[in-house]
Amino acid sequence: MRPTGPLHLGHLVGALKNWVDLQERYDCFFMVADWHALMSEYERPAEIREYSRQMVRDWIAAGVDPKRSVIFRQSDVSEHLELYMVLSILAPLGWVERVPTYKEQLREVKGRDLATYGFLGYPVLQAADILLYKANAVPVGEDQIPHLELTREIVRRFKFLYSSDIFPEPKPLLTQEARLLGVDGRKMSKSYDNFIALSEEPDQIRKKGQKMFTDPQRIKMTDPGHPETCNVCHYWEVFVPEQAPKVWEECRASKRGCTQNKQELSEHLIRLTQRFRTQREKVPDDEVERVLAEGAQKARQVAQKTMREVRQAVGLG
Ligand code: AMP
């Protein structure tokens, strides 16, 4: 995850919940992608360090367990850049240019100049992040599928060029809630300013809740609602599943207006974020630094071993 801002509800349901479950079945590596953050924030990098710390605190609060999983910061393990260099050399320009998120971000992200040499290499660095640990599987949202496909293509090309089998082809572990929409109906994202942060104050949640898009076909309260096309109703399913059937039924039967629906949902979201905040306050300040230092050590061990094999394969050193 990139430390470019506070974590939001999309991160909680789209990534963190899944991560916590995966710890039961896999040896997991969770990375603070601060090099990736720098690619978009290079003009104002001052906050990356602080966001990194806050993010790890949020992970621990959500249940990511540093005793079971390796939690580390990308820039603490310089092998990421070494492997990135090797992969950049062999990744054809056409492959990188056709990654759909590249053009989308250039178009959609405002206030940042992403037309840089480095930003084009974003998914190649991601491939290095994955392959350095010989990951068999990567938990991703659907938007990341093309990046994982590029990683798989790079693995095949590496194998073809150097007759080397050191990298497995990683498969995606798709998250159930892979695309939570924000208050404006686009994917919830730090870049679009349409998010509800996990650290959001109650009044802000109420304000943002009121702004949410509902069923466009429902003009008056007496019109029957279509909960399946309403983002607010979808939030009920995701965040308050036990009450969602009743809410959906009332919406269809015009017994529940959109304003009431948003107000009640906001109160649920406030309770959820407050529970989260209580957990977060239990994580002591120095814990994050300790976790990152230990994580870097464990990650480095694996990364160095892989890089020895890579250098051997490509004929360096
Ligand atoms: P990012 O903030 O773009 O670095 O995303 C970090 C992780 O959170 C990735 O696995 C994303 O797929 C996931 N994620 C981010 N935003 C959302 C969202 N709106 N819905 C679901 N998952 C998300």
Domains and CATH numbers, the chain: 9-179+285-314 (3.40.50.620), 202-279 (1.10.240.10)
Q: pLDDT at residue 175 above 90?
A: no
What pLDDT is recorded for position 105? 85
What pLDDT digit, counting tens, does each position of 80-126 carry? 999 999 999 999 999 999 998 888 888 888 888 999 999 999 999 99
What pLDDT is recorded for position 217? 84
Residue 14 CA to ligand 1 centre (angstroms)? 6
Residue 223 CA to ligand 1 centre (angstroms)? 35
What pLDDT digit, counting tens, does each position of 27-56 carry? 999 999 999 999 999 998 989 999 999 999
Q: pLDDT at residue 176 above 80?
A: no
Could you list the beta-strand ranges (E) of 153-284: 171-174
Residue 147 CA to ligand 1 centre (angstroms)? 14
CA–CA distance, 173 with 14 (Å, rounded to integer): 12
What pLDDT is recorded for position 5? 87
Q: Write down the mean pLDDT value for the chain.
A: 93
Structure tokens at 235: 């939030």
First to last CA, the chain: 32
Residue 11 CA to ligand 1 centre (angstroms)? 5
Does the CB atom of residue 12 touch ligand 1 within 6 A?
A: no
Does the CB atom of residue 31 touch ligand 1 within 6 A?
A: no
Does the CB atom of residue 288 touch ligand 1 within 6 A?
A: no
Question: Looking at residues 125-140, what average pLDDT do you find?
Answer: 96
What pLDDT digit, counting tens, does each position of 196-209 carry? 999 899 999 999 99
Does the CB atom of residue 1 touch ligand 1 within 6 A?
A: yes
Counting other chains too, the contacts that 145-153 makes at CB distance below 8 Å and 24 or more residues apart are 145/172, 145/174, 146/99, 146/100, 146/101, 147/99, 147/101, 147/123, 148/172, 150/91, 150/95, 150/96, 150/99, 150/123, 150/124, 151/123, 151/126, 151/127, 153/95
Does the CB atom of residue 178 touch ligand 1 within 6 A?
A: yes
Does the CB atom of residue 140 touch ligand 1 within 6 A?
A: yes
CA–CA distance, 289 with 258 (Å, rounded to integer): 45
Q: pLDDT at residue 153 above 90?
A: yes
Instruction: Report which of 156, 172, 171, 2 is spatially closest to residue 87, judged by C-alpha positions.
Output: 156
Does the CB atom of residue 144 touch ligand 1 within 6 A?
A: yes
* pLDDT classification of 14: cutoffs 50, 70, 90: confident
What pLDDT is recorded for position 81? 98
Residue 317 CA to ligand 1 centre (angstroms)? 38
How many helices and strands, by DSSP H and E, does the chain display?
Answer: 15, 4
Share of residues in the chain with pLDDT > 70 (%): 100
Q: pLDDT at residue 178 above 80?
A: no
What pLDDT is recorded for position 216? 84
* pLDDT classification of 215: cutoffs 50, 70, 90: confident
Share of residues in the chain with pLDDT > 90 (%): 80
What pLDDT is recorded for position 42? 94
Does the CB atom of residue 180 touch ligand 1 within 6 A?
A: yes
